[in-house]
Structure 1
Amino acid sequence: MKKKPEVTAVTKEKLMASFWKFYCGKKIEKITVKEITDEAGYYRSTFYDYFTDIYDVLEQLETGLIHTLKENVQSSLVMKQQNDIIKILATMYEERGEYLSVLLGKNGDPNFHQKLKDSLRPMLFEEFGLPKSDMDIQLIIEFGMAGIISTITYWYDNGKRIPNEELAIMIRSMLLEGTMSLISKRSSFDLIERFGQTE
């Protein structure tokens, strides 16, 4: 008899939650299917109804996170609320931060950071009409995306000590004004004078 969709969804969710519990504590190559199924309360054969192997669980989990992020960003772009993109990322961190922080952290998946940027890059080029073949533009976009992701990760890992709205304003200011300019404004040390103006 065919299982009901809601039943299969719950089963898959439990298996993924079980995987995640182990993934947060040890390297993926040390996790076994038996551990996952024992923790979730299923037989090993049930695991293979949903996943090909341990790495497939991680892949599906990452794909789901990136899909949610892309949907939120695309929705913002359609509504012409470009200034809210950074806030969307910060808000998603508040909702899915446990996953994102681990995946982007030192013990997480080294490929996830690149996957995240690869999912955002085409949308940014298309929305702002940027030439995809221009290496200068590519480097600037890469710098911006890496900075945004790293800053939000650091904010989350350090207790989210400022509201996400304030974080979004700060990141936007860094992108528009430059980091050295903002540091100089907030301290007595003039970084621009120290490092020199750009040509």
Structure 2
Amino acid sequence: MSLRIGQIAPNFKADTTNGPIDFHEFIGTSWVFFFSHPADFTPVCTTEMGRTSQLDAEFKKRNVKSVGLSTDTVDEHNKWIADVNDTQHTTLQFPIIADPDLKISRLYEMIHPSESETAAVRSVFIIDPDKKIRLTMTYPVAVGRNFDEILRVIDALQTGDKASIATPADWRPGDKVIIPPSISNE
């Protein structure tokens, strides 16, 4: 199964650092920033977890819940969270999914054999309150995510949904937008 923009995000149940999760129940009426990382206790992943935690207020302002995933166990995640909090000067509170059997990583096509047979690549899924996949991004293992771009895309998607507009290259909130020809002038 190939995941595409506009499809319903596959549901799953899993253990997380915040207890069991049913993904669709977790989404509820929120947007979701669902992201994977290759492994706990690695430098790039540690900075990404820290940055996600530091941006918690920005995500909440946009009605976005964050949830991470790796193929490590809940116990490993919990030990790592202490390290993330210490080194990144934050208090990580969002759930991190444990996927040691790779079921969710395979379901969401996060295993790329050219990178690793047993670790998820850096995937991003932005999922809307209707549980539809609105954006996917995949980063190589050695490259950290650009969180300004993730927030910008969420802003663009939400603005487009509210006003039936499109956003041009490099758009930021407050910039001019594009009114598609399908929108009436009246």
- TMscore range, shorter length: under 0.3
Which structure's relative contact order is higher, taking Cα pairs within 8 Å and 6+ residues apart? 2
Under a length normalisation based on structure 2, what TM-score does the superposition of the two structures give? Answer: 0.25
Q: Which has the larger radius of gyration?
A: 1
Higher percent of residues as strand: 2
